[in-house]
Structure 1
Amino acid sequence: MRLKSLEIQGYKSFANKSVFHFDRGVTAIVGPNGSGKSNVADAIRWVLGEQSYSTLRGQRTADMIFAGSKSRPRVGMASATLVLDNSDGSLPLDYTEVTIARRAYRSGENEYLINNNRVRLKDVAEILARGGLARQTYTVIGQGTIDRALSLRAEDRRQLFEEAAGITYHRQQRATALRRLDETHANLLRVHDIVQEIEPRLRRLQKQARRVEEHRQLQSHLDELLKIWYGYRWGQQQQALHQAKARHTFSQQRLDEARRHLRQIEARIQTLRARQTELRAQLGDWHAQSSQLHAQAEALQRELAVGEERARQLAAQRQEYLTEIQTLQATLQQQQEGVDRARHTLTEFDRHYRQAQTALDEARRQLTAHQQQRAALRKRQEQAEAEARHAAHALTDQRARLAQLAERLTELQNQRQEQIAAIEQAAARQAEVETRLHQIRRRLAELETARQTLTAQADDLRQQQNRLQQQAAALAARQAEKEKELASLRARQDLLGKLRADMSGYHRGVKEVLQAKSLPGIRGTVAALLQVPAELEIAIETALGGRLQDIVVNTWRDAEAAIAHLKTRRAGRATFLPL
């Protein structure tokens, strides 16, 4: 075995990774004081498992890690790796080259690795001890070590020789074996004490064991009885299952019928809703028409009121015109009387004029005497003629005014006839509108009644739908419950069928005889052949007990053949009842 290389990183003064190769022969490390020569030897000693920090010139694990300098910070881990040539097999490892590494962290934790596999310090120490590299073999000799070795006593020097010869490892193994033997002896003493302590309780434990065995037998008998009881209950549950299936079928039919009825009701509700929508739309149209008719009626009423007011005004104007015509007629009559008087006066003047002319003719000679009288008469004549002309002009004006009043009266009479016709038409239209409005109101009342009826029917249908839905939910819940009971009964049926097929609950001998098809005359067990009323099953079962498993055979020979079969097969015992 030979040291091939040493790799150091972060250990004491070696901050960077440093590798030392050791060739064959002697390798010397030369350098000034403080260059780290002793740190190389300490690193080798540290890798080999040295635990004394005073030997490594330190006080704790952190002293083994590079503490930093002015130019670079400290590191958090120290690592050293030894590479050993194991071609001669000095170390008990199947490798020609063995790598031993040790790592230390500032938390105080240390790691040991052999060929990059993490191991314990004890494993490293044992492997090195078997290769002659124990910590006390003086593999690394420092300053003053030779002087200390020469000054040792004989006993200490003997220990040094034994370590050098490799005997220390075996001594340690012997000490470990002796320590384990002592621990085993102590454990044996403790076991002996425990046995002495438990031995007085053996009788009680035996009694408890017998009780447990009795309990097991009773439990087996109880299991058999429970199986029989479960068989009886299985039969009852089968009947209940058939009844539940029938009820389920009937309920399913009712549910399907209710669903069909519900779908019909929903379709009818949809139809009624569509009809209700149409009626509402038609009602809206009728409301719009009614509003239009109301507006037209109000407009006609306003026109009628205006026409009536105009008729009243025209009647008042007609009355005024009639009064004025009567006044004008009286004035005209008075003027006519004045004209008549003027004509009469004029006639008299003509007569007087003729008389005067005659007198003038007769009394020309009296011209001078009568000149003034004639002038006066002429003046009176001129005045009378002027009055006659004025009366004629006034009569002409009155006649023209009378003609205008007659034309105005005719025009007013025509307007009155037109207003009367318009009033009659408006009254007819108002009557027609009122009739149509009455019809619309009656139709609206009918539609409102129909809507209320449909709403009541829809409410009834909703209530019926809710009841049907509740019934459907109840039927569904009941169906789920029945399905759950059916699943439970089926599971129990499968279990009981399996128990019946396996003949679970029967004694071994009974099971062997019943399963043996070659034995003649086997009728079956008393439990299988006995038929009792349902209300007496529990009483009969309690009274017979284990006799229910007795086997009924035809003859004694059949019973003997079955017994011989049980003895041949060593299958237990059974009780036979020959007929």
Structure 2
Amino acid sequence: MRLQTVEISGFRGFAADSLFDVDADAIVVVGANGNGKTSFYDAILWALTGRVQRLSDSTQRLVNRFSDSGQARVRVRMGVERGAHLLTVTRTFDGKEARISVEESGEILRGPEAEGRLIRVLWSNAAGAVDPFSTLGNVLTRSVYLQQDLISQFIDDASDHDRFNAISELVGAGRITDLQSELERSKAAWSKATNAKSAELNLLRNRIVNLEARLAELRARQTVQPVEMDNAEWSTWWADIAELGVTISGPPPLSRESQVAIDNAMKQLDAERRALERKLHLIDQISGDLVALSALDRSDPSEGRAVLATLRERINVLKEDVREEQARMSKARSIQAELEEYVEQMHTLASIALQHLGASCPVCEQTYDVEGTRRRLELMVSRAGALPFVDDGENLRAALENLSTAESEALRLEMSLRQQESAEAAYSSLKQGIGKRALELGIQVEEETSSDYLLSVRKDVWSAIENASEAQNRGERFALQLSRMGDAASINELASEIATLKQKLVVEQRDLTDRTRTGDRAQIIIETLRESASDVVAERIQNLQPLLTDMYGRVDVHPAFQAVKFLTSVVRGRGRLTTVVSDPQSAVESDAPETVLSSSQLNALAVCTFLSLNMGLEKPPLDAIMLDDPLQSLDDINLLGLIDLLRQAKETRQLFVSTHDARFGSLLGRKLRPNSVHQRTVLITLDGWGRAGPSVDHREIHADPAPMRLKAVAA
């Protein structure tokens, strides 16, 4: 299938409508970087597959921002040969919904029908794939469209397993690989279920072991054969415990409910006995409290309170007397101090005056009676000293003594009153406690209650406790009999259950064996498919090897590593394809070309691999080779060899080559010009990019009218 026309509108670099006439044997696309060369190839890829796989982000970005219609639209017309139209594919995307239509012989198909028809026409092997268009896209990008930024991916970035899968798809073994992968997934799920069943069998075996251990324990414990149950005694016991307050009705002695019923009855009996024991304790507490009540001194404290009030009034009066006496003595002491100070001053003045007595007064110089004055002064000096205190404090001491005596008496009365109040509080507490306990017991108890009454009540409670204990003992004997009889029944049930589980184990074990055998057979099929896929790929690679070797030598990739080959293998169930370059002269080889080749040489190897895969396929999806600007990835020497290969490929494939270099474009035009009137070469120029996209110019390249001549020059 060959391309004839490509119409692009609103897709990536093309906002306005652009029509490309590609109904030619060679199409050379020339345009500066950014002018839409890659968008042209991506448009063809998107129209045929619905995706551009190298653009892993959202499909929203495929719509040109300046599109008048707000949608991307690509229409590709194809035919089996130049000039013979056969199929038209139209794909649109408005940012939300993608649509496709296929027109063939006047019939228009849309949606899934159109997609199915397109797959059948281009690559029918993909019809059985999980994602047919993803498979188709991989085939196109591996053998038809060599993308500019992914030239060396197949050799450099892809893993050995990815290369093997890619080749498998190209040589027609893709569905074998898919079947192998599907069987491996199913085998994994089958193995998981088988392992789960094996685990369940282990649990079943463990359960049988545990049950057998339990059976052996019951048989060892059953040393005494169970005796027959006395129905009359059984019924009597249930009647007796009913009188003791047990509310459970007695079932027949050998019924399924017997053991549960007697266990519950024994719990109620134990609870009843504990309640009776508490009553006995309450009765003993009441007796002790009554004895304590009789020992309390409950004299009336009102008389003592009156005496204390009178005494406190007297204390207040005595305190006032003490304060008054203290004030009087303080005033007397002040007067005494002032008098002593006066006498001291007179003594000092008299002493000074005696020292200065003369014929006349030293102050006023008047005459006076010197001797009389001297005698008076000497008398004043002789009388100097402390004056006797007129009050010795006897009244104050007496008042303080009376106050102390009254306060001591008041303290004694207060302590006595506190004791009486404490006795009254103890009496109230005892009375309250006796009342609560009597209420709990349901009896009437007063302070004057006789001890005989409490002894009678205590005797009744003690008798009830003995009856409950005796009933518990009888119940335990019945429980033991039932347990022994239950052990016998359990032995029979366990033996029956063990036999049933062993039968189930045999059946499940047989099923597990069958599942394991099935899994082993599936593994054999998987291994056979692996070997078959590897054999098919190896055979096709062997067929492609001469073509790859020829192209690698003509491009002259490396001066030393002049040979290349593919090696296939199966490692851990996964097919692998390894690229090996070698130096035939020194027998040196490398299975990692990226370590011995430069970037340009590695790209040249990738181009040779790509062309050999394309040319080696009997029926590729498109009878075309699309190279997106190989000039940016190859050296000039490699390019000359590549052009020679392309001239040869043009004879069997529709050739698309783009370049950013106008001179290289002219060279391609000359080298790929038609060799006859039946061939056609078109030069498409993309120029002047604007918001509407680049301008598109088509130019026909005609055959050289002058025949080629060879001229020999003598050396």
Query: Same fold judged by TM-score > 0.5?
Result: no
> Which structure has the greater CA radius of gyration?
1
Greater relative contact order (CA < 8 Å, ≥ 6 in sequence): 2
TM-score (norm 1): 0.32
